[in-house]
Structure 1
Amino acid sequence: MTDSPTGGNNLGREFSRLAQVVSQLRERCPWTGALTHESLLEYLLEESYEVIEAVEAGHTRAEDADELSGELGDLLFQVLLHARLQEEAGNFSISDVVTGLTDKMIRRNPHVFRADGSLQDSTTEDTAEIERAWDAVKKTEKHRSSPFEGIPAALPALALAAKTQERARRAGLRVPDKASGVPDFEGEEELGEILFETVRRAAEHGLDPEAALRRAVRRFTAQGPGTAD
C-alpha cells in the first residue's frame, strides 16, 4: 500500500531524493549532462504518448497498474529534467514549479478552496459553474483577449480542433454546422469508421487531412465565431 498524496513526510522525502538523483545525473552522467530543453522535447512527447497508450490499454486496473505507474514516472523524469536545467541557469527550481502549481490549483478552484488554501465548507455540483470560475481566473492570470489564446498550435489536428471547439463552447461561442452531409453516428466505433473513411478519401484526392483540418481550425478562429444561440 503506497502513501496517500496527503500522507506528508514520506512523499516529501521520496520526491526530494528523486530531485537529488536528477541533479547527480546532470553532474556525473555525460549523456544526461549534455541534454538541453530542445533535445528533451522528443522524449517529453514520447513519454506523454506512452502514458496515453498505457491508459488506453487498460493499465489502470489493480493487476497491471504498475505499467501505468512506470510510464508516469518516466513522464515525471522529463519534468524534473526541464526544471533542473532552469535551476542550473538560475531561473527557478522544481520547488518553484510545485509551489506555483499548488497556488494555481487553489486559485482556480474557489469552489473547493478559500483564498488561504483551506477547504470551503461546501462545494458545487454544477460543472458549468466550475468551468466558468476556472476560465475567469485563468483569463485574469494570462491577460487573454481571446478564448483561443494559449491553445498549442503544434497539437495534432484532431486534438487542436477538439480543444478549439471546447474553448468556443465554454466561451458561449457557436460552432457552425457546415457539413450537413456527414453521416450521423451514435458511438465511438462509428465515429472512428467515419474518420478513417475521411482519411481514405483524402488520400484518393491527394490531400493531407492533417493540414486540411489545421487550416479549417485557423479559419474558424480567425473569422470571429458568433455567440451561441
Structure 2
Amino acid sequence: MSKASPADIMPLANVMARLRDPNTGCPWDIEQDFASIAPYTIEEAYEVADAIERNDMADLRDELGDLLLQVAFHSRMAEQAGHFALQDVIDAITQKMIRRHPHVFDEGARREDGHAQWEAIKAAERAEKEPDPSALAGVASALPALLRAEKLQKRAARTGFDWPDTAQVIAKVIEELDEVREAQSQEHREEEVGDLLFAVVNLARHLKIDPETALRKANHKFDRRFRAMEDMAGEQFAALSLDEQEELWQRAKVQEKAG
C-alpha cells in the first residue's frame, strides 16, 4: 500500500513550521519543548472526550482540530531536532494499522480472529522493542492514575492473575476500606486509600464499567446537585449549617429525579 498523501495535512504542518521559525515565528511557540507541551496534549484529549460525552459534534470537530494541532506541534519539534517529521508519524501509524489488522488487509486471514490477532501482534511488537519481559511492560507510568490502574489490571489478568468472580472483588474493596479505617498515620492512610482506589478500579473492570467514565459522570452529578443547592439558598448558602445544607442536597436529589 502506498504512503498516505500529505496534501491535506501539509497546510497545518506549514503553519506549525512558521510558528516555530526561530527568526520570524511566535515567541511562545518557539520556546516550547516536548515536556512543556505534553500537558496541553493531555488536556486536549480530555476535551475531545468531553465533546463526545455531550454529543456536541461542532465542538468535537474543533476539539479534534486542537488535538491534531498537538500532533503537528510535537512532530515539528521532533523534525527540528532531527528525529522525524509529521509525514513520518502518518506513515508509521498507517503501516501499524495495516500490520495489526491482517483480518482486514490480508485476504487469507480469518476475520473472526481479529481481536486475538491484534493482541498477538501487539505483544510481538512489544517483545521486539521492549527489553522488559514483564506482562506489564509498556504501560506508561505517565498515564492518569485511574487509567494506568485499569491497564495494569488488564495486563495482569491476561496471565491468569485475577479474581474469578465479582463477589471476591467486592470483598476486597470492603477489606481495603477496613484497612483505611485502621490506619494510624497519614502516610499509612495514604497508602491504604491508594489500595482502596485500586480495588474500586478492579471492581469497575469486573463489572465492565469504564472507571474514568463512571467518575466523570459522578463529578457531573455532584456539580449539578451542588449548583441546585446554591440556587435554592442564594447568597446565604455558605452560612447554613451542615444539616441545613444536607436538607438542600436531598431536595436537589428529589428534584433531579422528578425532573
Measured against the shorter chain, the TM-score band is 0.5 to 0.7
Report the Cα distance in structure 2 between the residues aligned to 1:203 and 1:44, rounded to whole angstroms: 38
Q: Hey, what does 2:207 align to over in structure 1?
A: none
CA 1:153–1:166: 2 relative to 1, 3 Å: same
User: Counterpart in 2 of 1:156?
Assistant: 144
Of 85, 88, 97 in structure 2, the residue corresponding to residue 96 of structure 1 is: 88
Q: Which amino acid aligns with 2:33?
A: T
Tell me how far 1:68 sits from its aligned partner: 0.7
Q: Does 1:74 align with 2:66?
A: yes
Which residue in the other structure is 1:166 paired with?
154
The structure, 1 or 2, with the larger RCO (C-alpha pairs under 8 Å, 6+ apart) is 1
Pair 85,203 (structure 1): closer, same or farther in 2 beyond 3 Å: farther
* Distance (whole Å) between structure 1 residues aligned to residue 113 and residue 76 of structure 2: 39
Q: Highest Rg: 1 or 2?
A: 2
AA aligned to 2:102 is P
Aligned residues: 185
- In the alignment, what sits opposite 2:121? 134
> Does the 8 A contact of 1:157 with 1:210 survive in 2?
no
Cα pair distance change 1:43/1:203, threshold 3 Å? farther
TM-score (ref. length: structure 2): 0.59
> What residue identity is the alignment partner of 2:76?
R
- Worse overlay, 144-153 or 120-129: 120-129
Give the letter for the 1:14 counterpart. D
Match of 1:32 in 2: 29
Q: In the alignment, which residue of structure 2 is the partner of 1:5? A: none
TM-score, structure 1 length as denominator?
0.66
1:13 to 4, 7, 10: 7
Counterpart-to-counterpart distance in 1, 2:46 and 2:182: 29
Instruction: List aligned pairs for 1:99-138, cutoff 5 A.
Output: 99-114=91-106, 120=107, 123-138=110-125
SS of structure 2 residue aligned to 1:14: coil
Question: In structure 2, how many angstroms separate the alpha carbons of the residues matched to 1:179 and 1:68?
Answer: 39
Are 2:199 and 1:212 aligned? no
Given that 2:156 and 2:162 are in contact with CA atoms closer than 8 Å, whether structure 1 keeps it comes out as: yes
Amino acid at match of 1:135: K
In structure 1, distance between residues paired with 2:119 and 2:82 = 36
Change (3 A) 1:55 1:210: farther
* Contact 2:76 2:85 survives alignment (8 Å): yes
Contact 1:157 1:211 in 2 (8 A): no
Give the superposed CA RMSD: 3.6
Q: Structure 1 residues 45, 58: CA separation in 2 closer, same or farther (over 3 Å shift)?
A: same
Gaps of 5+ in 2: 200-259
Aligned residues: percent identity?
36
Change (3 A) 1:181 1:82: closer
CA distance in 2, matches of 1:55, 1:203: 38
Verify the 8 A CA contact 2:101 2:118 in the aligned structure 1. no
Aligned residue for 1:173, secondary structure, equals coil
